Amino acid sequence: MERTFDCLVIGAGYAGAVAARELAERGGMRVLVLERRDHVGGNAYDCLDGHGVLIHKYGPHIFHTGSKRVFDYLSRFTRWRRYQHRVIANLPRDNPEVVPAHKKTDGRFCFPVPFNLDSLEAAFGKAEGSRLGEKLLAAYPAQSQVTILELRQNPDPEIAAIAEYVYEHVFVHYTMKQWGQTPEEIDPATTARVPVRLSRDDRYFQDAYQGMPLEGYTPLFQNMLDHPNITVELGVDALTRLDVSGGAVRVDGAPFAGPVIYTGQADELFGFRFGPLPYRTLDFVFETFDRQFYQTHGTVNYTVDEAYTRITEFKHLTGQRLQDPVTTIMKEYSRAYTGAAGEIPYYAIINPENNALYGRYRALAEGCGGLHLLGRLAEYKYYNMDAIVLRALELCDLLLKK
C-alpha cells in the first residue's frame, strides 16, 4: 500500500472527494479512495429512476452557501442551474373562517415555511395577520428573523399567541416526527435552521450562492475524482483493510505513515468500543405519477399530521424536462437508527451526552498519528454540504502546509 499510495481516503462523499482532489492536485500525492457503496457522491448521490426521472436516492439535496470559496471550488466541477428552494407547509385547517377561499383545498391549507409575514396572513386572515405582522416587526426592529424558541420567550400576549400558533402548526409535530422529541428537547441550533422570518421572503435559504448542479450531483463528484493521482475503489468496506485498534494506523496489515482521511462513523471505526453513537435514520418512499407535476413546490412539509415529514418532487429541483408526463416524489419517514443491516445513519442526535460519547472516540482518533476524522458522520455534526466542503478544504490547507 505504502509503495503505491501516499494517502488513503475513506468515503467518496463531499468530505472524501474534496480531500482526495486537494491532496492529489495541490499536494501531488497518490490517493486511494475506498467507498463502501457502489457509487460516489455519498448521500448527495443522484441517478435516474426506472421512469427516467432524476432522483436523489438519499434525500433531497439543495445546494446553498454563503462561502465564495466553496462556491468557486465546486464551480470547477459543475455548472449550475439557478434554483431557489421554496417550501410550503400543508396542514389541516383549524379555523375555516380566516382562510382565504383560494387557499382552501379539502379542508387543508398552505403557507410558506419558514413562517413569514405572508404565512401570518394566511393563518390569521389578511387584516389581523397584517396587524400582527406590524407588531412583530416593531418587537424585533433590528432583526430579519427570530427563532421559534426565542419568540416563545416574548412576554407580550399577542406575540406569545403568534409564537404558540407557529410552535403548534409548524414545529412541534414535525419535530416530534423527525426527532421523536420536542423542540425544547433537541439542540436549539436545529430548529434555528428554520427561523420565523420578519419579512415576506419565502425562500428556504437566504445564502448568496444557491443552485443545483446542472447535470446533477453525481457528475460533479465524477469530475472531482477524475484526476490521474486518484484511484477510486467502489464496493469496498475500508474497515476490512484498515486497523486502528492498536493506537496506530495499519493498512492491509502493515503500518501506514501517510494521511488517512476517514469520513465514516467514528464509533464503527473503533468497533463500537464505548457503545454506539445515537442517530436518526430515514425511510424513503418513492412514488411516480403519470403527470407533469404532483405539487406546486419542490418540497411540501406536513407540519401537523401524516406520518411522513415532507414530500419532495425532484423535477422542481432539478428542472428536468421529460417528454412524457411523468414525475417522481419522495416521502420521508424518520425513526431511530438501530444499526440493522441496510440502515443509514442520516442525522447525529446532538446533545451533551452524545457529544461526550463522541469525544471519547475523537480522543482515540487523535491518538492515532495520521488519522483524520472528517465529515458529517466522522465528526458527528449536523453539517450541510457546503460546510463539509469548507472543512475538507481547510483540513487539506493544514496538511499541505505541514
Answer yes or no whether residue 376 interacts with ligand FAD by CB under 6 A: yes
Instruction: Please give the single-letter amino acid code of residue 303.
Output: T
Beta bridge partners of 286: 330
Residue 302 makes contact with ligand FAD by CB under 6 A: no
Nearer to ligand FAD, 17 or 163 (CB): 17
Cβ 130 to ligand FAD shortest distance, Å:
32
**Smallest separation, CB 104 to ligand FAD (Å):** 30
DSSP letters of 16-51? HHHHHHHHHHTS---EEEEESSSSSSGGG-EEE-TT
Q: At which residue does the C-alpha cell 432522483 appear? A: 55
Residue 216 found at the interface with ligand FAD (CB under 6 A): no
- Of 402, 397, 371, the C-alpha closest to 26 is 397
Using CB under 6 A as the binding criterion, the count of chain residues that bind ligand FAD stands at 33
Q: What are phi and psi of 255, to 5 degrees?
A: -60, 140
Non-local (6+) Cβ contacts of 89 within 8 A are: 110, 111, 112, 113, 115, 119, 169, 170, 300, 301, 302, 303
Binding partner of residue 53 among ligand UDP, ligand FAD, none, CB cut-off 5 to 8 Å per kind: none
Q: Is 328 exposed, middle or buried (0-12, 13-18, 19+ CB in 10 A)?
A: buried
Cis peptide before 114 (omega within 30 of 0): yes
Q: What is the DSSP letter of 92?
A: E
194 binds ligand UDP (CB under 6 A): yes
Q: Which does 21 bind (CB under 5 to 8 A by kind): ligand UDP, ligand FAD, none?
A: none
Instruction: Please tell me the distance from the alpha carbon of residue 379 to that of residue 389, in angstroms, as a whole number.
Output: 13
What single letter denotes the amino acid at residue 402? K
Pick from 62, 87, 91, 132 the residue near ligand FAD by CB under 6 A.
62
d(CA 176, CA 182): 6
> Contact with ligand UDP (CB under 6 A): which of 45, 77, 174, 380?
174
d(CA 156, CA 302) in angstroms, rounded, equals: 29
Q: Is 330 in the site for ligand UDP (CB under 6 A)?
A: no
In the bound state with ligand FAD, the residue whose beta carbon lies nearer, of 162 and 220, is 220
Site string for ligand UDP, 237-276 (x = CB under 6 A): ----------------------------------------
Q: Least distance from C-beta 159 to ligand FAD, angstroms?
A: 31
* Among 8-16, 101-109, 182-190, 251-259, the segment contacting ligand FAD (CB under 6 A): 8-16
Q: Quick check: 178 binds ligand UDP (CB under 6 A)?
A: yes
Beta carbons within 10 angstroms of residue 240's beta carbon: 10
Residue 377 binds to ligand FAD (criterion: CB under 6 A): yes
Least Å distance, CB 316 to ligand UDP, is: 15
Closest CA to 207 of 65, 389, 383, 387: 65
Report the residue from 115, 375, 396, 399 that binds ligand FAD according to the rule CB under 6 A. Answer: 375
User: Is 24 near ligand UDP (CB under 6 A)?
Assistant: no
Q: Which member of 78, 116, 145, 191 binds ligand UDP (CB under 6 A)?
A: 191
Q: By the criterion CB under 6 A, which residues form the site for ligand FAD?
A: 10-16, 34-37, 42-44, 59-62, 237-239, 263-264, 282, 346, 375-377, 383-386, 388
Q: By the criterion CB under 6 A, which residues form the site for ligand UDP?
A: 89, 113, 170-171, 174-175, 178, 190-191, 193-194, 301, 303
